[in-house]
Structure 1
Amino acid sequence: MKSGFYSAISKFGNCPLSSDDTFQFQLLLMNGLGTYHGADTNEILKTAMYIEPGNLESFSNAFKALADKTKADADASLINSNAINSRDKYFACASYYRTADFYLHANWSDPRINEYWALQTECFDKAIAALPVPGQRLTLPAQGFNVEAIFYAPAPPNPTVKRPTLIMGNGYDAAKEELMHFFVFPALARGWNVITYEGPGQSTRTLHPVVDYLYSAARLDVDRNRLALLRNSFGGYLAARAAAFEPRIRALLLDGGIYDAHAAFVGQLSPSLQSLYRSGRKEQLDSVLAAQLRNPQVPSGLRWGAEQGQWAFKIESTYDFLEAVRAYSIAKLTERIQIPTWIAAPANDQFYTGQPELVKAALEEKATLRRFEGAAGYHTQVGATETANRIIFEWLDGVFGISSQNLGG
C-alpha cells in the first residue's frame, strides 16, 4: 500500500530529521522558515529529537512545548526591552503554534485547534506590529462573507511612489501568516507591496475583493499596472482559476501548477482504494479508510491526508471529499488565462507529480515552466526559499521591466 494521498518521498537529502517521511517533510519546511525569520534552525533540530515517528500527538506536543517556551522568551524580552528585540521570537512562536495544530484535525471539536490558533494570531500580530511599516490586518467585504487579509508595505505609504504589488494566498493546509516567511520578507526587501489573503472557498470570488481594495483610494501607493498573483501548493490550482476571471491581474505565479487536482488526489490512493473509489463503493471505501486511520502503524501521510481533506472541505466522508474535488480542474479555463504565467515544477514533488507540465502544455507560449532540481526540488521548494525567491523575482522583474533603480524610495 502506498502511504496515502500525501505520502512523502523516501528521504529528503542525506540527513533525515525523522524516519517518518511525512514528519520529515514538515520538519524540513519548518527549518526552511528560518531563512526569513520564521523559526530558529537549532530549535527545529532539537525538537525533532523528541518526536516519535508515526505519533501525531508527539509531533503536536513537541511543537506546543517549543512554542510555549519561545513565547515566554518573547514576552520577557518585550517587558525588559522593546518590541523589535522580541519580534523574531514572536514570528517563531507563531510558526510553532501553527505547527502544533497541524496534525490535530481528525477531531473537529478538539479545543486545542482554536487555542493554538488564537496563540499564533497573538504572537504574529505582535511581530508584524514591530515591522518598520507595521502589517495591517484587513476584513474585506464580499458577497455573503468576508475575506481576511494583511497588507504589508516596504516603506511608509507615499501616493507619489506607486509600487508593484504581490497578491498571495496559500494552499491546502497552510495559513496566510506562513507566507510571511516564504515570500513576504523577500518581496518587501525588493521594494514590493504585498497583500496576503484567505477566505471561504478560496475562489475567484475571494480574489475580487482583494483587487478592489488595491484599486481603492486607500491604496494610492499601488501600481495597478503591476499586480501579480502568487499561490503555492494547492493554491496553484486556486490561483489559476481566480486569474481566469480577474482581468486586473497582470502576472500569475503557480508554485506549482495543478491542472486536475482530482486526478492528482485519486492517483495517490493505493490501487485497492482506487478500485473501490472508481467503482462507486462509497461505504466500503470509507469503512476501509476509517479502519486504517485508527491504526497507528498506517503511514502518517495517509492519516493526515484523509483527515485534512475532510477538515478543509468540512466533509465527513473521504469518498465525498474526492467527489467534491472532481470539479477542481482548469481544463475549461485555460483559454481565459491570457497573462504571463510562471509555473514551478519541482523534480521531487510528491503531491502533484506531472501536473505542472499539463498546465504548461495547456497555456503554451504564455507560460514559463521552471524546473527545480536538487535541494530546491521538493514540493514548494521547502528548505530552499532563498533560491525560489531569487528565481521568482528575476522572472517578475523581466515581466514588469523592474530594476532596483525604478521602484522608488
Structure 2
Amino acid sequence: MKPLFFPDDSQFWFETLRTFGHIAYGGADFGETVVTAERIIAGDYDSWHDEWLATADRVAAEGRSALAGGHPVSARDAFLRASNYYRSAEFFLHGDPTDPRIHHAYDASVACFREAAALFAPAVEPVRIPYRDTTLPGYLYRADDSGGPRPTVVMFNGFDGSAEEMHFGGAAAAVERGYTVLTFDGPGQPGTRHHQGLTFRPDWEHVVGPVLDHARTLPEVDPFRIALLGTSMGGLLAPRAAAFDHRIAALIALDGVYDLGTIATASVPGDRAEAERRLRAEHDPELDAAMEAGMAADPMVRWAVQHGMYVLGAATPRAFAAAYLDYHLRDGVAERIACPTLVCSGADDGFFRGQPELLYEHLTCPRTLLEFTAEQGADAHCQAGAQRLAYARIFDWLDDTFGVRA
C-alpha cells in the first residue's frame, strides 16, 4: 500500500497505518488520526510522542465528560480511542527505559481501556493469571451472560503490542462471533515489561501453559475447543507453545514466523554459522560498528534494535541480535504441532516477508496458508488496515475447524 503519510519513513508510516486499521473495531477515528499525523515531524520520536499524547489527552477528556453527563456509550468509544492513542504515544521511547513518559502514557492507555471495558455488556473483565512467582495481566471477554462454556480463543500480541491493543486485534471480532476470549501480556510485553521488568523468553510453552491452566478453570471456556492466536512475533511464539502443549485445539499464526535468526543474521557477512559465531562472540568491534551504522541509516532498524534491547533485556545491539537466534521453530519444533493450523501471510510484510511460507512448509499437521494481497488492501504486516477482511477470513476458518455455526 502506498504511504499516505511519511513516504520516506517506513516505520512511521506503518505505525500510522496500524492506527488507521484499528478504526475497524473502535480504536481510532479517521480524522483524529489524520490531523495527528499531519502535525508529526517525520523521524522525530519526541514529535511522535507529543502529538499522539495531545490527541489522547483530548479524547480521554471527551470520554470523562461523556461519562459524567450520563452517556456511557460515547464515553466507552472515547476511552477506547484514547487508549490506543496513548499506546502509540510511548511506542518509540524505549531506547531510554528510564524515560518517565513511557510509564505515563502506558498507564494512561491501560486506565482508559479499563474505563471502556467496564462499559461493555457483558463487561470486559481484567484478570491476573498466575505465572511463576507473579501474575500476567489480561482480559476475559464473555459473549453473553449465560455462564456456559463456549469455544474459546486465547490470544496475545507480539514484539511491541499490548493486551489492550488485542481488543482491536482480534478480541472484539471473536466475541461478536460468540467466542469466549482471554487475552494476556506475557514476559517482555507491555503489561509485564513496564512495571515487572520481565523480558521475553523463547520457550513460550512455559508462558502459555499457565494461561491454559487458568482458562480451563473458567466456566465460560470449553476446555476441548481452545484456539491459540499469536500476532506478529506471536506468530512464532504461539506455534512454539502449540508444539509442546497439545491442549491447544487450533492454532492461528498472524502472521506466521519460522526463524528470527534469519533476520538477525541477514546483514552479517559470511554464512549462517559464521554470522551466529560473530553475534555471540565476546568482542567484535567491527560488527558492533556496522550495526550502529545500520541503525543510523535505517529508521526501522533503529527502532527495532532499541525496542528489542528493551524487551529482550539485551545490553547492546549485538546482544539483542544474538538473543534473537534462540527464537525459532527449527530442529523439528514446527513438525511437533498436531492441531489444525492457520498461517497468515501479507504479500508486502515489511518485517517477516517469506517467514509464513517457511513455517507452512515445515508443518505436518492439518494446515492452511491464508494469503492477503495488495488488491485487497491487506498486504501489510498482520494485515494492518484490513482488519474486517482479515478477521472475517480468520474466524470463518476457526468456525469451520470447530464446527461452529451461527
Q: Say whether the fold is shared (TM-score over 0.5).
A: yes
Give 3-state SS (helix, strand or coil) of 2:401's partner.
helix
2:284 partner amino acid = K
Give 3-state SS (helix, strand or coil) of 2:368's partner.
strand
Preserved contact between residue 264 and residue 325 of structure 2 (Cα < 8 Å):
no
Q: Distance in 1 between matches of 2:289 and 2:183?
A: 39
Cα RMSD (Å): 2.0
Q: CA deviation at 1:361?
A: 1.0
Q: Distance in 2 between matches of 1:83 and 1:271?
A: 58
User: Following superposition of structure 1 onto structure 2, how do residues 394-409 of structure 1 map, counting pairs within 5 Å?
Assistant: 394-404=396-406
Q: Distance in 2 between matches of 1:340 and 1:249?
A: 9
Instruction: Answer with 322-331 or 362-371: which moved more.
Output: 362-371
Tell me whether 1:111 sits opposite 2:112 in the alignment: no
Preserved contact between residue 282 and residue 319 of structure 1 (Cα < 8 Å):
no
2:221 equivalent in structure 1 = 222
> When the two structures are superposed, what TM-score results if normalisation uses the length of structure 1?
0.89
2:337 partner amino acid = I
Q: Distance in 2 between matches of 1:337 and 1:154?
A: 29
User: Following superposition of structure 1 onto structure 2, how do residues 282-361 of structure 1 map, counting pairs within 5 Å?
Assistant: 282-290=284-292, 293=295, 298-331=297-330, 332-361=332-361
User: Following superposition of structure 1 onto structure 2, how do residues 199-210 of structure 1 map, counting pairs within 5 Å?
Assistant: 199-200=186-187, 201=200, 203-210=204-211
Q: Distance in 1 between matches of 2:142 and 2:130?
A: 22
User: Following superposition of structure 1 onto structure 2, how do residues 361-372 of structure 1 map, counting pairs within 5 Å?
Assistant: 361-364=361-364, 366-372=366-372
What does the per-residue CA deviation read over 1:238-285, in whole Å, with 9 as the maximum and x for residues that have no partner? 001111121111000001111111112332x4869x998764553333
1:355 partner amino acid = Q
Preserved contact between residue 165 and residue 222 of structure 1 (Cα < 8 Å):
yes
2:151 partner amino acid = P
What does the per-residue CA deviation read over 1:183-211, in whole Å, with 9 as the maximum and x for residues that have no partner? 11111111111000122236111111211
2:303 partner amino acid = W
**Residue ranges of structure 2 left out of the alignment (5+ in a row):** 188-199
Q: Distance in 2 between matches of 1:62 and 1:285?
A: 36
Distance 1:14 1:57, change over 3 A: closer
Q: CA deviation at 1:145?
A: 3.2
Q: Distance in 1 between matches of 2:215 and 2:130?
A: 13
Q: Distance in 2 between matches of 1:292 and 1:225?
A: 48
Tell me whether 1:385 sits opposite 2:387 in the alignment: yes
Give 3-state SS (helix, strand or coil) of 2:86's partner.
helix
Give 3-state SS (helix, strand or coil) of 1:396's partner.
helix
Preserved contact between residue 151 and residue 226 of structure 2 (Cα < 8 Å):
yes
What does the per-residue CA deviation read over 1:65-105, in whole Å, with 9 as the maximum and x for residues that have no partner? 11111111111111122332210100111101110000001
**Residue ranges of structure 1 left out of the alignment (5+ in a row):** 1-11, 405-409
Distance 1:110 1:60, change over 3 A: same
Distance 1:289 1:365, change over 3 A: closer
Tell me whether 1:193 sits opposite 2:180 in the alignment: yes
The total of aligned residue pairs comes to: 384
Preserved contact between residue 67 and residue 97 of structure 1 (Cα < 8 Å):
yes
Preserved contact between residue 291 and residue 318 of structure 2 (Cα < 8 Å):
no
Tell me whether 1:93 sits opposite 2:82 in the alignment: yes
Q: Distance in 2 between matches of 1:382 and 1:234?
A: 14
Preserved contact between residue 261 and residue 326 of structure 2 (Cα < 8 Å):
yes
Q: Percent of aligned pairs with the same residue? A: 32
